[in-house]
Structure 1
Amino acid sequence: MNSLFEELAAREAAARVRVEELEAEVAELSGKLGLARESLERLRIARETVAEVLAEMTPEKAAMGGDARQPATSAPVASAYAGAERQVIGVLAVPNWQPGMGPEVLPRVCRDIVEVVADAPGPVRAKQIVPRIGLPAETGKIECRRSKLKRLVERGWLDEDVPGLFTLARRRGGVSSNSR
């Protein structure tokens, strides 16, 4: 009979270990669930705040970039969000360049790219930009930045006269290269 009791004791010990492992997994998953809930709540609040701000914006404030304190003597900077509907479906992260706009309106990564291109002595390639903004020169990082460069070209911030070679758009300060 000792062998039966020994077998039951061994199974009980194995079951106890399994229960402890599952309790540890539950604790870990509870922590992950808590973090996911916090992230969800922050996103909900951000969405509601943006909707409130856009709902409160008048077309005049939107045309001035949302700053009603701008002096009347300066020309208002056209906003990418001018005339935005009250129900927002998407947001234009990289606005179309317009006279008076500076790189400070761009998302941080795009601003960094524009600054690197501006500091370069000539046209630059995506693989030259990646290490200058502090990223490893890996294919994925290069291709991601290349797509951002193409978006900046589409929106008027950069030029790509030769495929793959990027320069600042030649119409800085509201003067286009065609009007010179």
Structure 2
Amino acid sequence: MVSLPEELRTWEAAARQQVEELQAEAAELALRLEEAREYLSRLEITRETVAQVLAELSAAEAEPEVLAGDVPEVNKVSAPHGIGVMAVPPWREGLVAQVLPDVYRDIVEIVADAPGPLQAKQIVPRIGLEATTAKIEGTRGKLKRLVERGWLDEDVPGRFTLARRGPGAKRPNSR
């Protein structure tokens, strides 16, 4: 038969082990909680930044056109709304590529510097992306948007050039 003091030691050892296991779980949960809080904070900051950028783009579209040499002033405090924002404005006389979002501006500059028409798969590595199907298709969408807004032409399907401007400029397949 087991003595009472030995039985208490056994129970005490089991309780001690359970406490240690729960402390380890609590430490793991505290670490996961901290990581989740950091992730949430990054998302909140990203959302606020995107809202601010969209609001500034919207405000810039409401202002007179930006001509070559003009630098739009960045508003430090703005009311973020972002509804109905057109990130790629339609091209019009005197408008420069600097008004475009970075990736669109890079695409226009790459196409402008090219000796001939470019395909999306040729542009993707030049803007610093991996040449995967998803990145190529995303870039093709951006190219099509630039065509719709008058920044680029697509005379041959899938081949993009800088838009021809002025009287007599034919754009047979630019839509």
Kept in 2: contact 1:97–1:155 (CA 8 A): yes
Match for residue 37 of structure 2 among 23, 33, 38? 33
Could you report, residue by residue, the CA deviation over 1:114-156 in whole angstroms, capped at 9, with x for unpaired residues? 1111111111111111111121111111111111111111111
| Change in CA separation of 1:88 and 1:132 when aligned onto 2, cut-off 3 Å | closer
> Scaled by the length of structure 2, what TM-score is found?
0.69
What CA distance in whole angstroms lies between the structure 1 residues aligned with 2:57 and 2:131?
Answer: 39
State how many pairs are aligned. 153
The correspondence of residues 14-93 of structure 1 with structure 2, limited to 5 A, is 14-37=18-41, 39-40=43-44, 43-44=47-48, 47=51, 62-65=63-66, 89-93=83-87
Deviation of 1:90 (Å): 2.8
Unaligned runs of 5+ in 1: 71-86
What CA distance in whole angstroms lies between the structure 2 residues aligned with 1:31 and 1:135?
Answer: 28
| Change in CA separation of 1:129 and 1:161 when aligned onto 2, cut-off 3 Å | same
Most deviating of 95-104 and 38-47? 38-47
Residue 13 of structure 2 aligns with an amino acid whose one-letter code is A
Show structure 1 runs of 4+ deviating over 6 A.
52-55
Q: Does 1:147 align with 2:147?
A: no
What CA distance in whole angstroms lies between the structure 2 residues aligned with 1:64 and 1:29?
Answer: 48
> Scaled by the length of structure 1, what TM-score is found?
0.67
Kept in 2: contact 1:170–1:176 (CA 8 A): no
Q: Percent identity?
A: 47
Give 3-state SS (helix, strand or coil) of 2:31's partner. Answer: helix
Which residue number in structure 2 is paired with residue 113 of structure 1? 107
Most deviating of 43-52 and 153-162? 43-52
Asked which structure has the greater CA Rg, the reply is 2
What CA distance in whole angstroms lies between the structure 1 residues aligned with 2:163 and 2:106?
Answer: 15
- CA-based RMSD of the aligned residues comes to 3.4
Kept in 2: contact 1:51–1:88 (CA 8 A): yes
What CA distance in whole angstroms lies between the structure 2 residues aligned with 1:129 and 1:17?
Answer: 55
Which residue number in structure 2 is paired with residue 12 of structure 1? 16
Deviation of 1:11 (Å): 5.3
Give 3-state SS (helix, strand or coil) of 1:177's partner. Answer: coil
Unaligned runs of 5+ in 2: 71-80, 171-175
